[in-house]
């Protein structure tokens, strides 16, 4: 069949039409293409299958399981497979169909990470040699997000106290609000204008906008103040979008005690990126004496005139500890102990020979790595820029992780999903309520003993963006669609997780603690679990392994065993290469060092016997403790608080005897 009078290009300005009872009806070129395709099929004698029958969808929380029977008419040839899926947004949206093709012999997997309280149109269509047939569809609606009770609102005036950040605090009339309901929240500080507009929203709803005028102060903020009960758990959620300006935005949760003192318990850097949306989800326990919770989103420096940001929603809820965590053993297995006893990290090096230039190397280290930063006090990271560690049971559900292209690769790396690659982002047993360590690194470690596998992810986060920087959204990853989505692609907010990079180690208990290929989360390719100080080790007072040490200026182009690679950049033969082993002088009497914190003494004694291994590059010389957020989410108090015993985390390593450090030979211990 031919159509000589019809143009062949969609771009040509023409409109095919059909004559109906009420006049002409114009057809789009896409609709016409479908019609012509069906005519060609009819002319060739081919026919597509009829719709599948008895389509049912069973909801399990926010996932959906499909079931159907074969079509009554297979068409001109046998059915070879099925497309199944759902509409890309809710039923009122205009998102594309989200679908996956299954062989006819394979059962459908579930659709994961659906949004709570959302209606979708689910579908299935049979496929044969003539193509896909008509869809069988069904409407499904997910249940409400379980487990949250809104805190009653506070009423009446609030004493502004002497804290300049909370002066002029206005009470909210609600503890959960969005759009124009945010009007009770105060734009804070001098020189700011509060307004509402719909520029953020795709649905026309309003968002609160805070705009800096000339002479603005740095404490522009949006506040909510609600009553709390000491010892109770609270969930604080908010959505913020950066408008114009380059100043840093922060959000924080504070508790006010009966004496009026403010205790800041959670802080997050939001973003400097224009047109970037962040959804924060804090879970906090009210300290003893707390009577009020205060949430603030504000600038961290004086903003330029015209800088602005939007707040779209905020809620404060009392919650019970997250259900489903009973399968997680968060602090009972030190991360370093999952590796073999023969690991380099567990070898006694107290009698090892020294590098021939040890003294010069250590002096360079002191002059360039220690003394110039923070008055010579190095870091012991216990609250941020460290990693959470989860141990999960064999039957823990798995899911795919989305790819967040924070490094502007502009493609989907094969190591993450491809069948020929390492598939590090596929079938990951992510714990219920999983959270990464604080700070911009967003690092998480997940170990499954039954399969002896370890996953680590960098910039791991629950999906909380409307327009992705680029990559693979969790929603698409969940259905096996790993096609790269360019920056600005609309990504509806759904439950799911994404990460910028990561890796998986198989056979952990017999391996060397290194990730294969270019995967992993450290610059050296070594697992963070190998040299991490676990909470249980800190509580027991003994560390029985080497410690991972982060440097500021590692040597360029070379790396020492056991490192697999390097991101060093300092071109100096005395700069310490990544992977090099360092040791604290074994003859040093650590207990006699005045003013050395007990946690630092543990580090020092471990460094005498097992040493340090340089594992990464950062902004300060540091060792890392296990992040305690998984325990806090179980309703426990932060164990690092008791271990610090009133000492700020930034002061734990004060008086550490770095001058007694020794360097071991290059590639020491290499087989």
Cα→Cα distances 616→459, 526, 634, Å = 16, 9, 31
Q: Is the predicted pLDDT of residue 321 greater than 60, yes or no?
A: no
Nearest 5°: CA angle at 379, between 376 and 385? 145
Domains 53-141 and 148-319 share a fold: no
Do strands 497-499 and 461-462 pair parallel, antiparallel, or not at all (unpaired)? antiparallel
**Per-residue confidence (pLDDT) for residue 384, from 0 to 100:** 81
More confident residue, 486 or 380: 380
- pTM comes to 0.59
Confidence of residue 649 (pLDDT cuts 50, 70, 90): confident
Do strands 453-458 and 501-506 pair parallel, antiparallel, or not at all (unpaired)? antiparallel
d(CA 392, CA 390): 6
**Per-residue confidence (pLDDT) for residue 201, from 0 to 100:** 58
**Per-residue confidence (pLDDT) for residue 560, from 0 to 100:** 94
Do residues 650 and 599 touch, judged by C-beta distance below 8 A? no
Cα→Cα distances 261→99, 256, 282, Å = 54, 5, 21
- Cβ within 8 Å of residue 641, ≥6 positions away: none
Mean of the pLDDT values across residues 392-406? Answer: 82
Half-sphere exposure of 236 (CA within 13 A, CB side): 26
Do residues 338 and 450 touch, judged by C-beta distance below 8 A? no
**Per-residue confidence (pLDDT) for residue 603, from 0 to 100:** 96
Domains in the chain: boundaries = 53-141, 148-319, 335-386+531-663
Nearest CA-CA partner of 384 in 612, 622, 617 = 622
For domain 148-319, is the CATH number 2.60.120.260?
Answer: yes
Mean of the pLDDT values across residues 16-28? Answer: 48
Half-sphere exposure of 571 (CA within 13 A, CB side): 0
Q: Is the predicted pLDDT of residue 538 greater than 80, yes or no?
A: yes
The CA-to-CA distance between both ends of the chain, in Å, stands at 72
What string of DSSP letters covers 116-161? Answer: TT-EEEEEEEEEETTEE-PPEEEEEEPPPPPSEEEPPPP-S-----
Dihedral sign (CA 596, 600, 605, 607): negative
Do residues 585 and 571 touch, judged by C-beta distance below 8 A? no
**Each residue's pLDDT tens digit, 189-246:** 567 777 777 776 554 566 777 888 877 776 666 666 677 777 777 777 777 777 777 6
What string of DSSP letters covers 480-494? Answer: T----B-TT-B----
Mean of the pLDDT values across residues 122-133? Answer: 83
CATH of domain 53-141: 2.60.40.10
Q: Which residue in this structure is represented by tokens 């040493």?
A: 611
Q: Which residue in this structure is represented by tokens 């259905």?
A: 479
Backbone angles phi, psi at 399, to 5 degrees: -155, 160
d(CA 638, CA 435): 15
Nearest CA-CA partner of 494 in 513, 512, 468 = 468
Written as six digits, the tokens of 109 are 């997997």
Give the range among 45-59, 100-114, 420-434 with minimum mean pLDDT: 100-114
Q: Is the predicted pLDDT of residue 166 greater than 50, yes or no?
A: no
In a 3-state reduction of DSSP, which class is residue 605?
helix
More confident residue, 453 or 155: 453
């Amino acid at each position: 069949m031919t159509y000589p009078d019809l143009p062949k290009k969609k771009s040509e300005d023409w409109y095919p039409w059909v004559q109906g009872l009420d006049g002409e009806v114009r057809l789009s070129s896409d609709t016409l293409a479908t019609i012509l395709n069906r005519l060609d099929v009819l002319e060739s004698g081919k026919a597509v299958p009829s719709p599948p029958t008895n389509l049912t969808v069973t909801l399990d929380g926010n996932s959906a399981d499909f079931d159907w029977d074969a079509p009554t008419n297979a068409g001109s040839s046998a059915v070879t497979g099925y497309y199944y899926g759902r509409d890309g947004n809710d039923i009122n949206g205009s998102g594309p169909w989200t679908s996956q093709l299954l062989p006819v012999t394979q059962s459908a997997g579930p659709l994961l990470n659906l949004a709570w309280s959302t209606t979708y149109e689910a579908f299935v269509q049979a496929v044969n040699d003539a193509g896909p047939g008509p869809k069988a569809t069904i409407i499904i609606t997910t249940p409400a997000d379980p487990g949250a009770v809104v805190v009653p609102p506070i009423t009446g005036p609030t004493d502004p106290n002497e804290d300049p950040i909370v002066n002029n605090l206005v009470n909210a009339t609600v503890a959960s609000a969005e759009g124009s309901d945010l009007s009770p929240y105060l734009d804070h500080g001098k020189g700011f204008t509060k307004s509402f507009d719909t520029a953020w929203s795709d649905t026309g709803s309003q968002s609160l906008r805070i705009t800096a005028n000339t002479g603005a102060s740095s404490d522009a903020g949006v506040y909510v103040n609600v009553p709390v009960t000491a010892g109770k758990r609270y969930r604080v959620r908010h959505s913020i979008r950066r408008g114009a300006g380059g100043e840093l935005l922060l959000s924080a949760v504070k508790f006010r005690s009966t004496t009026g003192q403010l205790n800041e318990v959670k802080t997050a850097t939001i973003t400097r990126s224009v047109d970037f949306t962040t959804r924060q989800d804090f879970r906090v326990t009210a300290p003893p004496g707390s009577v009020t919770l205060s949430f603030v989103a504000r600038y961290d420096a004086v903003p330029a005139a015209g800088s602005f940001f939007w707040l779209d929603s905020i809620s404060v809820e009392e919650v019970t500890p997250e259900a489903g965590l009973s399968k997680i053993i968060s602090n009972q297995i030190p991360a370093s102990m999952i590796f073999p006893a023969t690991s380099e990290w567990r070898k006694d090096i107290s009698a090892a020979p020294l590098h021939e230039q040890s003294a010069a190397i250590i002096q360079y280290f002191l002059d360039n790595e220690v003394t110039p930063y923070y008055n010579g006090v190095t870091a012991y990271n216990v609250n941020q820029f460290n990693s959470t560690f989860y141990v999960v049971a064999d039957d823990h559900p798995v899911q795919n992780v989305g790819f967040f292209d924070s490094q502007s690769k502009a493609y989907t790396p094969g190591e993450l999903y491809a069948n020929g690659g390492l598939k590090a982002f596929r079938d990951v047993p992510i714990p219920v309520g999983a959270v990464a360590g604080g700070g911009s690194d967003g690092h998480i470690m997940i170990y499954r003993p039954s399969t002896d596998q370890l996953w680590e992810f960098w910039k791991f986060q629950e999906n909380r963006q409307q327009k992705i920087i680029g990559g693979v959204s969790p929603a698409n990853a969940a259905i096996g669609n790993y096609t790269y989505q360019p920056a600005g692609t609309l990504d509806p907010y759904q439950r799911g997780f994404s990460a910028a990079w990561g890796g998986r180690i198989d056979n952990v208990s017999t391996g060397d603690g290194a990730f294969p290929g270019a995967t992993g989360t450290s610059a050296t390719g070594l697992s963070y679990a190998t040299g991490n100080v676990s909470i249980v080790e800190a509580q027991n007072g003994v560390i029985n392994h080497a410690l991972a040490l982060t440097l500021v200026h590692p040597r360029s182009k070379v790396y020492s065993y056991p490192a697999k690679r390097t991101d060093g950049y300092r071109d100096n033969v005395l700069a310490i290469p990544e992977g090099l082993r360092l040791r604290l002088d074994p003859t040093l009497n650590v207990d006699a060092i005045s003013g050395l914190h007990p946690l630092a003494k543990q580090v020092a004694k471990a460094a005498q016997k097992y040493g340090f291994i340089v594992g990464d590059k950062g902004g300060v010389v540091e060792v890392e403790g296990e992040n305690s957020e998984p325990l806090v989410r179980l309703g426990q108090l932060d164990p690092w608080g008791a271990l610090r015993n009133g000492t700020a985390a930034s002061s734990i390593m004060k008086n550490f005897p770095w001058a007694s450090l020794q360097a071991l030979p290059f590639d020491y211990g290499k087989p």
